[in-house]
Structure 1
Amino acid sequence: MIEIEKPSITLIEKKENGKYGKIVLEPLERGFATTLGNSLRRILLSSLPGAAITSINIQGVLHEFSTMPKIKEDLTEIILNIKGIAAVMNTEEPVQLLIDARGPRELKAGDIITGGEVDIINKDLHIATLEEGAEFIVELEMEKGRGYVGADRNKKDSHSIGVIPIDSIYTPVNKVNFLVENTRVGNRTDYDKLTLEVWTNGTIEPEEAVSLGAKILNEHLNLFISLTNHIGDVEIMVEKEEDARLKF
């Protein structure tokens, strides 16, 4: 029978208004820290669901190379700023948002009219600078998705002239680092310690992101477990009562 001592997992640090978290998992059998750290990092950066703007329609603008009078930024820069909007959607259907602003003023993400179906997290995000006499009216479409979707895939037959599809970055995780170190268990020093650092855009807690990433990985691994009927009942992890620790 295979017996592996069950490691403990702890959220040891959380800051930046809940956008950053550091998680430690130890002790792990040699090699498992790299396997788990690398797998979770890939999943966290590519497979978690989120919300993003998929297209914009600016009044008086027909394409992404158009110029906009009395607005400091060019359209390319404004689109880049819009891509940085972090939001939580309370519906599964696409949502129409609106910008209706006149200068002089600084336009921020918090000025977007969302209704009750979208909550913008980074309200102070700079969108554009409007000069005296500027009029900036924009319709934006937001959708739920996963990972990264290019502008070409956001094109729809229903789009009217002037609608500009943009790249969508759905993932709520901005950055993931993992560190593998040696740790001691009794007289043995060949165990692994995994430290996982996660930065999010504020729409999800770091520990929730890790839990969801692990769930996605687990669901895929279960497909291999189901190849035989009896392996699913085999106990692998053994938790020593005196070593049980608090988990998040």
Structure 2
Amino acid sequence: GFGHTLGNSLRRTLLSSIPGAAITQVNFDDAIHEFDVIEGVYEDVTDILLNLKDVVVRLDSDEPAVLRLDAQGPGEVTAGQFSQTADVEVLSGDLVIATLSQNGRIGMEVTIEKGRGYLSAEGNKVSTAVGQIPVDSIFSPVRRVSFEVEPTRVEQSTDFDRLTLEIETDGSMSPREALASAGGTLRNLIQLVEEMSEEPQSLELTEVVTGTAGSPDLELGIEDLELSERPNNCLKRAQIHTIGELILKSEADLLSITNFGQKSLDEIIEKLDERGHQLALKD
């Protein structure tokens, strides 16, 4: 009966350690920092950066790639308008990045890189060049994982588990591919234990994530939980802005927030569970 052991291990690995690609930097023709406003564009640069964070891409090269976008108003600017290369495919072509007025114009170049988990804009800040703006990057292609364990019978034995996994990805990788990658990562880690020796062993982390393994999304805003309006607004009023800040709170802490009820609490518990997190235990 190792269903729960295997299910938890696979879920955490799927949420934290599957490689993917994302936009890490952007250079605007007419803006030099995130608080700028581009004439003829309804969104400010901060809003455009938030939209760029949601662009789903597939990168077939280990080297960074640069895509160019030029658009003239009026109308919406979508991710599908990026100039694509042989190594890069934009999968969320209908995603709206900005809206232009009659005489509006926008031009930008974005850098796309491979990575794992989540990296904040501060972590992507590798250059102090004027006009190069780092972006929060969600590299993981896995959006949600849940599993169910049921008792099952094999011939005369009744102490076996049936493990059912439900995996949702962003389309840049299939659930089957993500599961295979997670299995490979766990296999390499277990192999270190199997070959245990007195000498320290190292593992080349081409298969295993470094740094924030198990919790790459703690710096993500609570908006990424896709909560309904009431719990989302209640958390913001309580100055809880990231997933990391949220999991430091207990159920009692949340229920003490004005207008925050059991229904909102149940929703948050479910959303955190999908990402492999839980609220703090009461002191």
Name the TM tier (shorter chain). 0.7 to 0.9
> Which residue among 4, 18, 32 is the counterpart of 1:62?
32
Provide runs of 4+ in structure 1 moved above 6 Å: none
Higher normalized helix content (fraction of residues): 2
Farther-moved stretch of structure 1 (120-129 vs 47-56): 120-129
Aligned residues: 197
SS in 1 for 2:61: coil
Instruction: Percent identity, please.
Output: 44
| In structure 1, distance between residues paired with 2:196 and 2:84 | 47
Farther-moved stretch of structure 1 (206-215 vs 74-83): 74-83
Partner of 2:134: 165
With normalisation by structure 2, the TM-score equals 0.66
After TM superposition, give the deviation of residue 186 of structure 1 in Å: 4.3
Partner of 2:56: 86
| In structure 1, distance between residues paired with 2:121 and 2:86 | 27
1:28-84: per-residue Cα shift (whole Å, max 9, x none)? xx2x11111111111111111111100111122121111222222232221111111
Correspondence 1:61-140 to 2 at 5 A: 61-140=31-110
> Which residue among 142, 147, 155 is the counterpart of 2:125?
155
SS in 1 for 2:50: helix
Correspondence 1:26-41 to 2 at 5 A: 30=1, 32-41=2-11
With normalisation by structure 1, the TM-score equals 0.75
| In structure 1, distance between residues paired with 2:23 and 2:120 | 12
AA in 2 matched with 1:150 = S
Farther-moved stretch of structure 1 (208-217 vs 62-71): 62-71
Partner of 2:217: none
**5+ unaligned residues in a row in structure 1: which ranges?**
1-29, 229-248
**5+ unaligned residues in a row in structure 2: which ranges?**
198-283
The structure showing larger relative contact order (alpha-carbon pairs under 8 Å, at least 6 residues apart) is 1
Quick check: 1:47 aligned with 2:47?
Answer: no
| In structure 2, distance between residues paired with 1:65 and 1:216 | 40
After TM superposition, give the deviation of residue 101 of structure 1 in Å: 0.6
After TM superposition, give the deviation of residue 222 of structure 1 in Å: 0.2
| In structure 2, distance between residues paired with 1:48 and 1:221 | 17
After TM superposition, give the deviation of residue 116 of structure 1 in Å: 2.1
Higher normalized strand content (fraction of residues): 1
> Which residue among 145, 159, 163 is the counterpart of 1:194?
163
